[in-house]
Amino acid sequence: MFLDPIQYLLGTLSGSLVGFTLGLFGGGGSILAVPLMVYVVGVPVAHMAIGTSAIAVAANAAANLVAHARRGNVLWRCAIIYTVAGVAGAFFGSLLGKAMDGEKLLFLFALLMLVVGALMFRGRGNPGTPGVTCTREKAPKVVGYGGLTGLLSGFFGIGGGFLIVPGLVASTGMPMLNAIGSSLLAVTAFGLTTAISYAFSGFVDWPLAAVFVGGGVLGGLLGTRVAGRLSSKKGALNIAFAGLIVVVALYMAARTITAFF
């Protein structure tokens, strides 16, 4: 796939925004990456945008995971159980996603964004319980949430952090900041699983992925710093971010609704 130099510049700027969002919220970068690839960078093939964004989001999430781990925000046992459960789901979800028409996939993606935005509004005031651990009693619930979010992650070609963060909170009761840090392990693994599947089908633009990652690393460093400083204001931040998700979702739905009608 041939892109103009300006498109690679837009890819770098888009990656910075995705990285900042991942660092700040632990998720959400992936839900913005696909629309940015399609409507800002101008990637003409939906599956190419999904495959390229998956590897870029995985790389950015890995960089942000290191930063959050250094700050003690990652609850490793919970993160590992959740991630292992979700990798298989991500693999099968990616097979289903590649088999669907690209425009229809984008429309369904927009509907998912609307659902996520609504859930973020609903759960904006949940502070979580400090000091939680993934006990044997909680493990089945963690595995169930991990498998489901992995399936959705693979199907839509996303890291899935915007699903993983509330999934970790719901299944363990951990505080939001710990869920943000812990989610990044799963975002990395889900994104890599999806990206590998799409790459084998030729749906990854590697130069674009590289500049997207480069911008994302810089944005992620800033986002992680801001997350620590604004942890007491997460409710207000989540409301603002949920509003952004809804606006982007409505735009995508308007652009792709003709795929079904």
Over the stretch 185-202, which tens digit does the pLDDT of each residue have? 998 888 888 888 889 888
Angstrom distance (rounded) from CA 74 to CA 179: 8
Tell me: pLDDT of 82 over 90: yes
Tell me: pLDDT of 221 over 70: yes
127 confidence band (pLDDT: 50, 70, 90): low
- pLDDT value of residue 193: 86
Tell me how far CA of residue 140 lies from CA of 46, 169, 199, in angstroms.
Answer: 35, 14, 32
11-35 pLDDT, tens digit per residue, is 999 988 887 876 776 556 667 888 8
* pLDDT-above-90 percentage for the chain: 7
Tell me: pLDDT of 123 over 60: no
Average pLDDT score, the chain: 81
107-119 pLDDT, tens digit per residue, is 888 888 888 777 7
Return the closest-CA partner of residue 251 out of 85, 58, 54, 40. Answer: 40
**What single string gives the DSSP state of each residue in 163-204?**
HHHHHHHHHH---HHHHHHHHHHHHHHHHHHHHHHHHHTT--
Return the closest-CA partner of residue 77 out of 27, 151, 142. Answer: 142
Token duo for residue 71: 């700050």
Task: Identify the sign of the CA torsion 220, 224, 229, 233.
Answer: positive
- What's the rounded mean pLDDT across residues 243-258? 80
Tell me: pLDDT of 184 over 90: no
Tell me: pLDDT of 225 over 90: no
pLDDT higher at 119 or 127: 119
Tell me: pLDDT of 1 over 70: no
CA atoms within 13 A on the CB side of 1: 22
Which three-class secondary structure string do you get for 231-257? HHHHHHHHHHHHHHHHHHHHHHHHHHH
- pLDDT value of residue 122: 66
Tell me how far CA of residue 91 lies from CA of 144, 185, 216, in angstroms.
Answer: 16, 16, 24
- Domain extent listing, the chain: 5-259
Total count of residues recorded for the chain: 261
pTM of the model: 0.74
